[in-house]
Chain A
């Protein structure tokens, strides 16, 4: 068990944690606009951490270069897709939810 495998395992664990948190967040949040937040952001970070763990495990080779290309592309494309969905919903009139204050009549 050398040090590289251990560091890769730690990063894989954190990345997997973020991916599961994203999935739970998409189901649990109360309104469309708040579901955008986990899907656009924690998903990207979870993926970047998993791919960085694989890059550390592999060392310097052609495979690491391809993984870096995937990471760069996901960092550019995933927030843009989230913004596109948000703008389309805003233009069509989906109304955001406001938290009700605690004065029940």
Chain B
């Protein structure tokens, strides 16, 4: 089952990149996507639980525009810091314990923290997050926990019963 999904995804990617429909291209596309899918279908799709995963993907797509707006709006802050004549850089390190249970949630949170200007994730696992902030305003933005609440909203669609069955 995962073999089939992987080979279809690879073949559609091949068609998307090439754009022509001659016989030899389609045949080599099918052969290549079958070989790649045979070698890697375990890694590409794990052990999915189809209802929760599609629900999570939709919530993730709804989360993206807020993230993009934050990134664009706050990148001017880095431009201000680089171009100001006196050095206003004042680095701090913040540690906290995340409240998120799934791997996708931790990856999303670490990625969002690295992409919003002012903070870079230094260490990210389930026990502890270490974050380097570049001035005091960004450190406060992390401590008040707004981003963590939004990411927790994405993954909270799963019931606790289903989560424990999959372990």
Q: Please tell me which one of the listed residues A21, A38, A45, A99 contacts residue B71 in the complex, with CB atoms under 8 A apart.
A: A45
Whether B16 is near chain A, meaning CB under 8 Å from some CB there, is yes
Give the residues from 1 to 57 in chain A that come closer than 8 angstroms, CB to CB, to chain B: 17-18, 21, 24-25, 28-31, 33-34, 36-38, 40-42, 44-45
Question: Does residue B111 face the partner (Cβ distance < 8 Å to A)?
Answer: yes
Name the residue on A nearest B80 (C-beta). Answer: A21
Contact B78 A24 (CB under 8 A): no
Given the interface pairs A25-B82, A37-B117, the reply to whether A96 lies near B93 with Cβ below 8 Å is yes
Check B8 for interface membership: any CB of A closer than 8 A.
no
Q: How far does the alpha carbon of A96 sit from the alpha carbon of B123 in the complex, in Å? A: 14
Q: Tell me the dominant secondary structure on chain B's binding face.
A: mixed
Q: Which of A58-74 contact B (CB under 8 A)?
A: 62, 65-66, 69
Complex CA gap A80/B110 in Å reads: 9
Interface size of B by CB at 8 A reads 31
Contact of B134 among A37, A44, A65, A66 (CB under 8 A): A37
Nearest A residue to B121, CB-CB: A83
Assembly CA distance A68 to B107 (angstroms): 22
Most chain A beta carbons < 10 A, residue from B71, B121, B122: B122
Report the separation of the CA atoms of residues A76 and B91 in the bound assembly, to the nearest whole angstrom: 25
Q: How far is the CA of A96 from the CA of B94 in the complex (A)?
A: 12
Q: In the assembled complex, how far is the CB of residue B15 from the closest CB belonging to chain A, in whole angstroms?
A: 11
Pick the contact of A41: B87, B114, B132 (CB < 8 A): B114
A residues in contact with B117, CB < 8 Å: 37, 41-42
Contact partner, B124, options A33, A76, A83, A98, Cβ 8 Å: A83
A residues in contact (CB < 8 Å) with B: 17-18, 21, 24-25, 28-31, 33-34, 36-38, 40-42, 44-45, 62, 65-66, 69, 75-76, 79-80, 82-83, 86-87, 90, 96-99
24 A-B interface contacts by CB (under 8 A):
A18-B75, A18-B79, A21-B79, A24-B82, A29-B82, A31-B91, A33-B91, A33-B120, A34-B134, A36-B132, A40-B114, A40-B120, A41-B71, A41-B78, A41-B114, A41-B115, A45-B71, A66-B17, A80-B111, A83-B110, A87-B123, A90-B130, A99-B90, A99-B91
Closest 9 CB pairs of A and B: A25-B82, A79-B114, A62-B19, A99-B90, A86-B122, A21-B79, A90-B122, A45-B75, A33-B132
